[in-house]
């Protein structure tokens, strides 16, 4: 804590301290969470958080669901980047059953996950703009996100809660329309993105508003188990994609951007650069997309084609076994982490051989880093607290599980 903030806290006169509710349904909380702030004038002296408004007991639900029925639950964690959650969960199950995933599937997954990261970061960064008073920069990226949603739609039929992919691969190969839309996206997105970037990144008003808003040091961020862009903005280059590569991330050339001060501006800039890097990864993966099947040979988990189910006895048996959850599973404990939109998204799965997990815990990056929020906003004006909240990108679905 800097000397300046200490002085503010010391000078606070109890007679002037007011208690106000920031949330649960405040337009700038972008979700339902409550902060009870104690303020002296504009300065925040202390704050207390209440979370859990949309707690849906995912971990309990997961204990009653066969593995393939858990994928839709993961959609609803960080719903700004559901495909990453879906694919992360599928990879966890694949790790448990020990299956070799074709290279093509791995590259397809990388493309989908990086598209999701772009969509996630676009929303977060444009919302930072909104909270700093720049509404135009919120509308520009939406037409770009729309294109990513169309790509999801082409691959899964859904836009927000995608339920993307299956255990063992994808439900379908990249369709001709997907190829065409992805190529056009790769062509048009960089220009549109740089236009968005030019509206905020070197904008004097935006910089003045965001620099120094909600800083956190690298030591504190580590102690709070921060991960993802928020940790990298504090200057720590930890990224699951590099530390423990999954889905062939080691094949791609990309850099991990880091910040210096861990404040709102650094978080914004780290996300902006990550979008550029994600684009690089997509280009590399798409250019080198291997030939092959879009699914692993995994009849125990991967639903057979409908035409086979009607005409082939074996396929019908597999179909029945998968739908009824009769597949034999190994006993064991796995932890698998992916780099989600907000950081290390982990699945800790304990299997007792039954058709549902014995215990499934989600490591939700939002839940873990949101507890640092009171420390980050101490001594700042309320308007900075709003910016800090949007720049750490707390997603209510992921926070409350």
Partner 1 sequence: MEKQNNQEYLTAVQAAFGADVLAHEEAFGMLNIEMTPSRIHDAIQWLQQHQDLSVNYLTNIAGVHYPEAVGREFAVVYQLHSWKNNLRLRIKGFLPKENLHIATITDLFAGANWMERETYDFFGIIFDGHPDLRRILNMDDMDYFPMRKEYVLEDATREDKDDRFFGRNNNEL
Enumerate binding residues for partner 1 (CB under 8 A). Answer: 51-52, 55, 57, 59-61, 63-64, 95-96, 220, 222-226, 238, 243-244, 324-326, 328, 332-335, 337, 344, 346, 348, 350, 352-355, 358-359, 361, 363, 367-372, 400-401
List C-alpha distances in Å: 269 to 84, 160, 196, 233, 258.
Answer: 22, 25, 12, 8, 9
| CB nearer to partner 1: pick between 296 and 337 | 337
Are the CB atoms for 302 and 169 separated by under 8 Å?
yes
CB closer to partner 1, 270 vs 334? 334
Nearest distance, CB of residue 250 and partner 1, angstroms = 13
Contacts of 146 (CB under 8 A, 6+ apart): none
Work out how close the CB of 342 gets to partner 1 at its nearest, in angstroms, rounded to a whole number.
14
In the bound state with partner 1, the residue whose beta carbon lies nearer, of 127 and 396, is 396
Task: Tell me how far, at minimum, the Cβ of 102 lies from partner 1, in Å.
Answer: 21
Cα–Cα dist 232/225, whole Å: 12
Give 141 or 229: the residue with its C-beta nearer to partner 1. 229
Q: State which residue, 37 or 360, has the beta carbon closest to partner 1.
A: 360
Question: What are the beta bridge partners of residue 363?
Answer: 346
Name the pairing type of β-strands 359-363 and 343-352.
antiparallel
Q: Which is nearer to partner 1, 28 or 361 (CB)?
A: 361
Tokens at 66, concatenated: 């066969």
Residue 20 phi, psi (nearest 5) = -130, 155
Helix, strand, coil % over all residues of the chain, rounded to 5: 55, 10, 35
Q: What does the alpha-carbon distance between residue 103 and residue 296 come to, in Å, rounded to a whole number?
A: 10
Residue in the block written with tokens 């190969």: 173
Q: d(Cα 348, Cα 79) in Å, to the nearest integer? A: 20
What would you report as the CA-atom Rg of the chain, rounded to the nearest whole angstrom? 22
| In the complex, minimum distance from the CB of residue 337 to partner 1, in angstroms, rounded to a whole number | 8
**365 close to 357: Cβ distance less than 8 angstroms:** no
Name the residue nearer to partner 1 (CB basis): 372 or 392. Answer: 372
Segment (H or E) for 40: strand 34-40
Q: Tell the smallest beta-carbon distance from residue 348 to partner 1 (Å).
A: 6
Q: How far is the CB of 91 from partner 1 (least distance, A)?
A: 12
Q: How far is the CB of 386 from partner 1 (least distance, A)?
A: 22
């Amino acid at each position: 804590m800097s000397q300046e903030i200490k002085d503010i806290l010391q000078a606070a006169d109890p007679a002037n301290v007011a208690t106000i509710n920031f949330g649960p349904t405040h337009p700038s909380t972008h979700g339902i969470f409550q902060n009870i702030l104690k303020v002296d004038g504009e300065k925040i002296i202390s704050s207390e958080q209440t979370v859990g408004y949309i707690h849906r007991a995912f971990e309990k639900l997961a204990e009653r669901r066969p593995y393939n029925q858990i994928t839709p639950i993961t959609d609803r964690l960080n719903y700004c980047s559901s495909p990453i959650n879906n694919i992360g969960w599928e990879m966890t199950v694949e790790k448990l059953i020990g299956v070799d995933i074709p290279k093509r599937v791995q590259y397809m997954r990388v493309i989908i996950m990086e598209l999701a990261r772009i969509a996630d970061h676009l929303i977060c960064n444009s919302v930072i703009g909104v909270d700093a008073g720049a509404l135009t920069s919120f509308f520009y990226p939406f037409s770009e996100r729309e294109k990513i949603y169309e790509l999801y739609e082409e691959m899964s039929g859904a836009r927000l809660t995608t339920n993307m992919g299956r255990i063992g691969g994808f439900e379908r190969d990249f369709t001709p329309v997907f190829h065409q839309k992805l190529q056009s996206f790769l062509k048009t997105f960089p220009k549109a993105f740089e236009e968005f970037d030019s509206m905020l990144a070197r904008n004097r008003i935006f910089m003045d508003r965001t620099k120094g808003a909600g800083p956190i040091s690298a030591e504190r961020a580590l102690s709070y188990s921060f991960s993802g862009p928020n940790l990298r903005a504090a200057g720590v280059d930890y990224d699951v994609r590099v530390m423990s590569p999954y889905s062939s991330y080691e094949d791609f050339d990309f850099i991990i951007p880091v910040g210096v001060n861990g404040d709102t501006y650094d978080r914004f800039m780290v996300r902006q650069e990550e979008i550029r890097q994600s684009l690089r990864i997509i280009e590399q993966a798409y250019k080198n997309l291997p030939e092959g099947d879009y699914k692993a040979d995994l009849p125990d988990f991967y639903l057979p084609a409908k035409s086979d189910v009607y005409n082939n006895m074996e396929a019908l048996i597999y179909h029945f076994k998968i739908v009824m959850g009769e597949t034999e599973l190994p006993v064991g404990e796995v932890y698998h982490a992916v780099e989600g939109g907000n950081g290390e998204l982990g699945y800790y799965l304990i299997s007792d051989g039954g058709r549902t997990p014995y215990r499934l815990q989600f490591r939700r990056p939002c839940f873990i880093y949101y507890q640092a929020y009171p420390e980050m906003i101490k001594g700042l004006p309320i308007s900075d607290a709003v910016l800090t909240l949007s720049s750490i990108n707390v997603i209510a679905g992921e926070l409350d599980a």
